[in-house]
Amino acid sequence: MKNKKIVVTGGAGFIGSNLAKKLASDNKIIVVDDLSTGYLKNIQEEVDRNQIDFVKGSITNLDLLKEVFKDVDYVFHQAAIPSVPRSVKDPVLSNNANVNGTLNVLVAAHYNNVEKVVYASSSSVYGDTPTLPKKEDMIPCPLSPYAVSKLTGEYYCKVFTGVYSLKTVALRYFNVYGPRQDPTSEYAAVIPKFIMKILDDKSPVVFGDGEQTRDFSFIDDVVQANISAAESTATGVFNVAGGKRITINVLANSIMKLIGKKVDVEYKDSRPGDIMHSLADISKARDGFNYKPSFDIEKGLKETVKWFQK
């Protein structure tokens, strides 16, 4: 992907900033972010070097998006209010950003004849169906307002492809982790939280008995999946994951081993909306746009711990 004009919504956030930085050397990048969960420092270097144009604004502002999307080739729609627990606490906020905001992105993209929109969806749309691995043709069973909002975005993408001929791809991310992930929020993802706790000689908190499993995706693989999906002829819904699962207890021990510290784990009750097991079938993404993860959990954790230690 070279010499394209590209918008990354939520481009100051964890996934969005990694994607924007990767694309910035060969393309004209515009980041739209209201900084409600993202940080300008994530892309400050590229902004200072005029590799990224930063627009502070919300995807809930349709007029702004119509203006920003002028002459744009691709839109990577990463902006959202993330987190299952946060959506349980404030479903209206999640819906406004994740549903209304996604609709605005699609309307603005169609209005400006954008070539393709790549949408960040979530494995949470599968819910707690016992069948593993999760395949894209399974009936969704969302268990949280966040999951409902992400699934609604997928349906809107499908409709805009069918009704308006706007090419869209929805990527169902499975537990993305890596450098630049925020460990400070009460809604932070498990890996950065565990790393920071263990570095500080504090107990990482596990919700449930720790035998729940997750399929983790390293950020570099997720960035590559976005770019490959945009460049391909593929449309529709695709899982993006590592394709292997690990228990949370093993995860905590692996991080302790990498850091070289042993601390006690604190166990708390499971949270509403949390699922027990997660594992992705990634064959559709492999066939659709040649997605092959380069990082297993050991290699990815090593990179992530190294970054946080810095």
Q: How far apart are CA 230 and CA 219, in angstroms?
A: 17
| pLDDT mean over 220-234 | 98
Q: What is the mean pLDDT of residues 63-72?
A: 98
| Better pLDDT: 63 or 189 | 63
Q: What mean pLDDT do residues 141-159 have?
A: 97
Contacts 24+ apart (CB under 8 A), 159-162: 160/106, 160/109, 160/110, 160/117, 161/235, 161/236
Q: 233 versus 184: which is more confidently predicted?
A: 233
Counting every residue written for the chain, the total comes to: 310
Q: Is the pLDDT of residue 65 over 90?
A: yes
Domain ranges, ordered by start, for the chain: 5-176+218-241+280-294
The pLDDT of residue 189 is 87
Percent residues over pLDDT 70 in the chain: 99
Q: What is the pLDDT of residue 304?
A: 96
Q: What does pTM read for this prediction? A: 0.95
The distance of Cα 216 from the centroid of its chain, to the nearest Å, equals 11
Q: How confident is the model at residue 275 (pLDDT cuts 50, 70, 90)?
A: confident
Q: Which pLDDT belongs to residue 175?
A: 94
Q: What is the pLDDT of residue 199?
A: 96
| CB of 218 closer than 8 Å to CB of 177 | yes
CA 88, CA 90: separation in Å to the nearest integer?
A: 6
Token pair listed for 209: 């008995």
Mean predicted lDDT score pLDDT of the chain? 96
Mean pLDDT over 42-60 rounds to 97
Whole-number pLDDT of residue 243: 93
Residues 5-176+218-241+280-294, CATH architecture: 3-Layer(aba) Sandwich (3.40)
Reported confidence tier of residue 97, pLDDT bands at 50, 70, 90: very high
Residue 153 is predicted with a pLDDT of 98
32: confidence class by pLDDT, cuts 50, 70, 90? very high
pLDDT at 128 over 90: no
Predicted confidence band at 9 (pLDDT cuts at 50, 70, 90)? very high
Instruction: Say yes or no to pLDDT of 188 above 80.
Output: no
pLDDT in tens, 202-225: 999 999 999 999 999 999 999 999
